[in-house]
Chain A
Amino acid sequence: MTLRVLVVDDEAPARERLRRLLGELDGGNEVIAEAATGDAAVRLAGELHPDVVLLDVRMPGMNGLEAARHLALLEPPPAVVFTTAYDAYAVEAFEAQAIGYLLKPVRAEKLAAALARAARVAGAKLARLAAQDPEHAPRTHVAARLGDKVRLIALTEVFYFTADQKYTTVRHAGGTDLIEDPLRALEQEFGAQFIRVHRNALVNVARLAAIERDATGQYHVRLRDIDERLAVSRRLAGELRERFGL
């Protein structure tokens, strides 16, 4: 079966070598595109729908583990095989979770075997993997599913997250999107950059402008750059004031 492959690595020689190895394998696999960063990979995968993504773990900006989590939202999600030169931790974790990986320099026969076995990786598994990472860093983006594509939203662009019964809404510089992460998980992951102002709202600390009280005694936060107010629970108003001197 011919596989359509997306090759992702920040180093040009590494991409070049994978492309050549893939070309030399039996079965006529096709490299449909290359990407040098995690976010480019997610974008390309949404457009081209590759069967397999060969994904470098260590990349600047969005790393491979985060990119894989966003890829898992695609419909249908691609199979992912990680590549790494040396990440003692990652290799151990991949083994433990039975996630496909290749060590660089990659051997042709290992590549063939990995492609034959390649399977989609569930997002939950990847989230667990990331949470166990000793150098665990929060994701740089959240992703919204849009038809058969995924929209990446940089965390720095986000104003706030709000939760209804089922979905989480993200309000960002480019508009509003629905994402699947529960508010509680977002709060845990991005606790350093976001703060809960209400039972159902999580606000980007960098976007906080002021805290106000209206005639009825209800507190609100005002945000930078957008003319929107969010209700603040009475319990959290004092804490907010103290922490940010609003």
Chain B
Amino acid sequence: MEAPAAGSTRSLNLPDFCAARAVLAVVLIVTLTAVVLAVARGGTGLNFWLDLGRTSLFLLWAGLGSAAALCVLRVRLARLPLATASAVALGSVLAVIALVSLGVLWLGSSAILGPRASNLLLPVAPQRFFAESLGIGAIVAALALRYFYVSGEWRRNVELQARSRVRALQARIRPHFLFNSMNTIAALTRSDPAQAEEAVQDLADLFRANLSEQRSSITLKEELEVARIYQRIEQLRLGARLRVVWDVTELPMRAQVPGLMMQPLLENAIYHGIEPLPDGGVVTVAGTLDDGVIGLTVRNPLPASGHAAPTGNRMALENIRERMELIYPGRSSVEAGRVGDEYVVRLRFPCVIDATRVSGL
């Protein structure tokens, strides 16, 4: 069996501090901090502007220096565990602030600027200045890093959702199935109009379920119904070659589940497991409820010459895996692989029952 999708371990994903966008954000944060500090010191008139100017000058050096340090460290930080990476990032920012402060103090002790400029620009109490810089720097840097981290996570989540939507589109019903069904219906319209009518209705329901904006969750009963409709259509085409055994009585039908998992799995099982067999075979759909965890298993025979894990199959599995990870982060698993002479896909996810929602079917 393939390893279950590991819950992605959290890492510190910071923006690229070498890119203009992040540098601009740093400049903005630094400038606003300088304004806050200058206002808090309560200078008036020319003194206020002088205070703001020299604070900004100092903070810009500190801020841009930190951005440069984080830019260099970024790739390495992303590989560390979240807590360690945060500590390293904060530590490197503080180191930059300490260096800039020392530079300022060195400027003060040397005579490069001349006495007038020194008095105007440089701090009078070196130790206090150093301690204050580090203290304020630590707080602002921590807040800023937190902000970058959270907005990065948010963006990542949006991307993940967008990607899973694209995958969902790609994993939709195979054109092969659509045209074969149309062909079956064309045959039935003459030989068995009642059955043709039924097939058209089933096909309509199936496409409605597939085309609807993926409702993040529907009841298990609705979910299984969509899969059964799919089976009915395939049954017309494949006849006795297709046998599906449903062993789902144990399942809580009111449970909320992500929509459209079972139908793609059943479609894969039929496409890869039954259609290549001249005499067909049995697909088994089994459900268990164990300790608040729903387990769904789809098994199909493996044709002798079967190419292992065809691409269409992986696409559907990846899509299901991503959607489950979005809905139940770290609490779901999708396993797939051959067991004996069968191919088995097993889903596990927490059983959630929404008492306020009454099943629509």
Q: Which residues of A does B touch, CB under 8 Å?
A: 10-14, 16-17, 20, 36-37, 58, 60-61, 85-87, 103-106, 135, 137, 140
Name 26 A/B residue pairs within 8 A (Cβ), A-sorted. Answer: A11-B183, A11-B237, A11-B239, A12-B239, A13-B236, A13-B237, A14-B183, A20-B191, A36-B278, A58-B176, A58-B275, A60-B276, A61-B276, A85-B179, A85-B180, A86-B175, A86-B176, A86-B178, A87-B176, A103-B179, A105-B182, A105-B185, A105-B186, A106-B183, A137-B305, A140-B305
Q: Are B187 and A17 in contact (CB under 8 A)?
A: yes
Determine if B190 is an interface residue (Cβ-Cβ < 8 Å). Answer: yes
In the complex, A241→B339 CA distance in Å? 31
In the complex, A11→B239 CA distance in Å? 8
Determine if B238 is an interface residue (Cβ-Cβ < 8 Å). Answer: yes
A20 to B, closest residue via Cβ: B190
Q: Are B183 and A17 in contact (CB under 8 A)?
A: yes
Q: Are B179 and A104 in contact (CB under 8 A)?
A: yes
In the complex, A20→B182 CA distance in Å? 16
- Beyond contacts A13-B183, A58-B176: 8 other A-B pairs, Cβ-Cβ < 8 A, are A13-B236, A17-B183, A36-B278, A60-B275, A85-B176, A86-B176, A104-B183, A137-B305
CB distance from A128 to the nearest CB of B (A): 22
- Tell me if A's interface is mostly helix, strand, loop or mixed: loop
Determine if B210 is an interface residue (Cβ-Cβ < 8 Å). Answer: no
CB distance from B58 to the nearest CB of A (A): 64
Across-interface contacts of B183 in A (CB, < 8 A):
11, 13-14, 17, 85, 104-106
CB distance from B313 to the nearest CB of A (A): 13
Determine if B88 is an interface residue (Cβ-Cβ < 8 Å). Answer: no
* 7 shortest interchain CB distances as A-B pairs: A17-B187, A13-B187, A85-B179, A105-B186, A104-B183, A105-B183, A85-B180
CB distance from A218 to the nearest CB of B (A): 36
Across-interface contacts of A14 in B (CB, < 8 A):
180, 183-184, 187, 237
Q: Are A61 and B184 in contact (CB under 8 A)?
A: no
In the complex, A17→B183 CA distance in Å? 8
Across-interface contacts of B175 in A (CB, < 8 A):
86
Q: Are B186 and A17 in contact (CB under 8 A)?
A: yes
Across-interface contacts of A10 in B (CB, < 8 A):
278
Across-interface contacts of B239 in A (CB, < 8 A):
11-12
A18 to B, closest residue via Cβ: B187
Most buried by B among A13, A37, A103: A13
CB distance from B71 to the nearest CB of A (A): 44
Determine if B140 is an interface residue (Cβ-Cβ < 8 Å). Answer: no
Give the size range of B's interface with the partner. 20 to 34
Q: Are B184 and A13 in contact (CB under 8 A)?
A: yes
In the complex, A87→B177 CA distance in Å? 11
Across-interface contacts of B182 in A (CB, < 8 A):
85, 104-105
Across-interface contacts of B104 in A (CB, < 8 A):
none
B184 to A, closest residue via Cβ: A13
B180 to A, closest residue via Cβ: A85
Across-interface contacts of B190 in A (CB, < 8 A):
17, 20
Q: Which of B142-200 contact A (CB under 8 A)?
A: 174-176, 178-180, 182-188, 190-191
Across-interface contacts of B275 in A (CB, < 8 A):
58, 60
CB distance from B360 to the nearest CB of A (A): 32
In the complex, A232→B64 CA distance in Å? 75
B236 to A, closest residue via Cβ: A13
In the complex, A85→B275 CA distance in Å? 14
Across-interface contacts of B186 in A (CB, < 8 A):
17, 105
What does the 1/0 interface line of B250-282 toward A look like (CB < 8 Å)? Answer: 000000000000000000000000011110000
Across-interface contacts of B176 in A (CB, < 8 A):
58, 85-87
Assuming the contacts A20-B190, A60-B276, A60-B277, asked whether A11 and B305 have C-beta atoms less than 8 A apart, the reply is no
In the complex, A105→B188 CA distance in Å? 12
Across-interface contacts of A58 in B (CB, < 8 A):
176, 275
CB distance from A67 to the nearest CB of B (A): 13
Q: Are B278 and A37 in contact (CB under 8 A)?
A: yes
A135 to B, closest residue via Cβ: B307
In the complex, A105→B184 CA distance in Å? 8
CB distance from B180 to the nearest CB of A (A): 4
Across-interface contacts of A13 in B (CB, < 8 A):
183-184, 187-188, 191, 236-237
CB distance from A135 to the nearest CB of B (A): 8
Across-interface contacts of B278 in A (CB, < 8 A):
10, 36-37, 60-61
In the complex, A86→B177 CA distance in Å? 8
